A and B are shown apart, each in its own frame.
Chain A
Amino acid sequence: MAETIVGSRLSTPSKGHEAGYRGRARVGDLLVIALWVSSAIAVGLFLVSGGTARFGSVADAVTSFGIVTGLVGTNFVLAMLLLAARVPFIDRAIGHDRAIAVHRALGKPAFFLLLGHGLILLIGYGLASGINPVAELAPLFAIPDMWLALAGIALMAVVIVSSLAAVRHRVSYETWHLIHLVSYIAVLVSIPHQLSIGSVFLPLSFERAYWLVLYLLAFGAILTHRLLEPLVSSIRHDLRVDRMIEEAPGVVSIHLRGRRLRSLQATGGQFFVWRFWTPGTWWHSHPISLSSAPTDTGLRITVRELGEGSRSISAVKPGTRVWFEGPYGVFTDAGRTAKKLAIVVAGIGITPVRALIQDSQLLPGEASILLRASTPDDTFLWSEIEDLARDKHIAITTMIGKRSSSGPGWMTEDAARAGMTLKGLFPDLAESDLYLCGPTAWLTLVEADARAAGLPDHQIHAERFDW
Chain B
Amino acid sequence: MRARATITGVLGSAVVLGVAWLVGSGTGANSTGAPTGAATAAPSNASSVSGTFAGASESTRYGSVQVKIVVAAGTITDVVAVKLTDQGGRSVQLSNKAAPILRAEVLKSQSAKVSSVSGATYTSNAYLSSVQSAIDKAGI
By the criterion CB–CB under 8 Å, are A37 and B13 in contact?
A: yes
Those of B57-75 within 8 Å (CB) of chain A: 61-62
By the criterion CB–CB under 8 Å, are B118 and A202 in contact?
A: no
How many Å lie between the Cα of A50 and that of B121 in the bound state? 12
Which of B23-31, B42-50, B76-84, B102-110 lies at the interface? B23-31
Q: Which residues of B contact A146 (CB under 8 A)?
A: 89
Per DSSP, are chain A's interface residues mostly helix, strand or loop, or mixed? helix
B77–chain A nearest beta-carbon distance, Å: 29
Those of B1-57 within 8 Å (CB) of chain A: 1-2, 4-6, 8-10, 12-14, 16-17, 19-21, 23-25, 27-28, 31-32
Contact for B17 among A25, A33, A40, A202, CB less than 8 A: A40
Q: Which residues of A contact B19 (CB under 8 A)?
A: 44
By the criterion CB–CB under 8 Å, are A29 and B87 in contact?
A: no
By the criterion CB–CB under 8 Å, are B32 and A199 in contact?
A: no
By the criterion CB–CB under 8 Å, are A57 and B12 in contact?
A: no
By the criterion CB–CB under 8 Å, are B24 and A50 in contact?
A: yes
By the criterion CB–CB under 8 Å, are A44 and B20 in contact?
A: yes
How many Å lie between the Cα of A458 and that of B1 in the bound state? 10
Q: Which residues of A contact B32 (CB under 8 A)?
A: 50, 53
By the criterion CB–CB under 8 Å, are A33 and B88 in contact?
A: no
Q: Is B100 in contact with chain A by the CB < 8 A criterion?
A: no
Contact for A29 among B5, B24, B119, CB less than 8 A: B5
- Identity of the chain A residue whose Cβ is nearest the Cβ of B93 in the assembled complex: A139
Question: Known: A32-B5, A32-B6. Contact between A52 and B25, CB under 8 A?
Answer: yes
Per DSSP, are chain B's interface residues mostly helix, strand or loop, or mixed? helix
How many Å lie between the Cα of A47 and that of B119 in the bound state? 17
Question: Known: A33-B5, A37-B12, A53-B28. Contact between A128 and B118, CB under 8 A?
Answer: yes
By the criterion CB–CB under 8 Å, are B8 and A48 in contact?
A: no
Q: Which residues of B contact A50 (CB under 8 A)?
A: 24, 27-28, 31-32, 61
B93–chain A nearest beta-carbon distance, Å: 6
Q: Which residues of A contact B28 (CB under 8 A)?
A: 50, 52-53
- Identity of the chain B residue whose Cβ is nearest the Cβ of A56 in the assembled complex: B121
By the criterion CB–CB under 8 Å, are B12 and A36 in contact?
A: yes
Q: Which residues of B contact A59 (CB under 8 A)?
A: 118-119
How many Å lie between the Cα of A29 and that of B121 in the bound state? 43
- Identity of the chain B residue whose Cβ is nearest the Cβ of A144 in the assembled complex: B89
Contact for B87 among A33, A193, A203, CB less than 8 A: A203
By the criterion CB–CB under 8 Å, are A197 and B90 in contact?
A: yes
Question: Known: A51-B24, A52-B25. Contact between A40 and B13, CB under 8 A?
Answer: yes
Question: Known: A40-B14, A44-B17. Contact between A29 and B25, CB under 8 A?
Answer: no
Q: Which residues of B contact A140 (CB under 8 A)?
A: 90, 93
Question: Known: A29-B1, A29-B5. Contact between A145 and B89, CB under 8 A?
Answer: yes
How many Å lie between the Cα of A52 and that of B121 in the bound state? 13
Question: Known: A44-B20, A198-B88, A202-B87. Contact between A33 and B118, CB under 8 A?
Answer: no
Interface residues of B toward A: which range?
35 or more
How many Å lie between the Cα of A196 and that of B87 in the bound state? 7
Q: Which residues of B contact A125 (CB under 8 A)?
A: 119
Q: Is B137 in contact with chain A by the CB < 8 A criterion?
A: no
- Identity of the chain A residue whose Cβ is nearest the Cβ of B27 in the assembled complex: A50
By the criterion CB–CB under 8 Å, are B10 and A36 in contact?
A: yes
Q: Which residues of B contact A202 (CB under 8 A)?
A: 61-62, 87-88
How many Å lie between the Cα of A56 and that of B119 in the bound state? 10
Q: Which residues of A contact B24 (CB under 8 A)?
A: 47-53
Q: Which residues of A contact B14 (CB under 8 A)?
A: 40
Question: Known: A53-B32, A59-B118, A198-B88. Contact between A33 and B27, CB under 8 A?
Answer: no
By the criterion CB–CB under 8 Å, are A57 and B23 in contact?
A: no
By the criterion CB–CB under 8 Å, are B21 and A47 in contact?
A: yes
Q: Is A35 in contact with chain B by the CB < 8 A criterion?
A: yes
Q: Is B111 in contact with chain A by the CB < 8 A criterion?
A: no
By the criterion CB–CB under 8 Å, are B89 and A197 in contact?
A: yes
Q: Which residues of A contact B93 (CB under 8 A)?
A: 139-140, 143
Those of A18-43 within 8 Å (CB) of chain B: 25, 28-30, 32-37, 39-41, 43
Q: Is A355 in contact with chain B by the CB < 8 A criterion?
A: no
How many Å lie between the Cα of A30 and that of B4 in the bound state? 11
Q: Is A345 in contact with chain B by the CB < 8 A criterion?
A: no
By the criterion CB–CB under 8 Å, are B119 and A129 in contact?
A: yes
Question: Known: A129-B97, A198-B88. Contact between A44 and B16, CB under 8 A?
Answer: yes
How many Å lie between the Cα of A50 and that of B60 in the bound state? 10
Question: Known: A33-B8, A199-B88. Contact between A45 and B61, CB under 8 A?
Answer: no
How many Å lie between the Cα of A191 and that of B38 in the bound state? 43
A203–chain B nearest beta-carbon distance, Å: 7
How many Å lie between the Cα of A193 and that of B90 in the bound state? 10
How many Å lie between the Cα of A116 and that of B17 in the bound state? 21
By the criterion CB–CB under 8 Å, are B91 and A199 in contact?
A: yes
Question: Known: A37-B16, A50-B28. Contact between A196 and B88, CB under 8 A?
Answer: yes
Pairs across A and B, CB under 8 Å, 17 listed:
A28-B1, A29-B5, A36-B13, A37-B9, A37-B16, A40-B12, A40-B13, A44-B16, A44-B19, A47-B21, A49-B24, A52-B24, A193-B89, A196-B89, A199-B62, A202-B87, A203-B87
Question: Which 10 A-B pairs give the minimum distances between C-beta atoms?
Answer: A36-B9, A128-B119, A44-B20, A40-B13, A29-B5, A52-B24, A40-B16, A47-B24, A47-B20, A32-B5
Contacts A48-B20, A199-B88 given; 4 further ones with Cβ under 8 A?
A: A29-B8, A40-B17, A50-B61, A59-B119
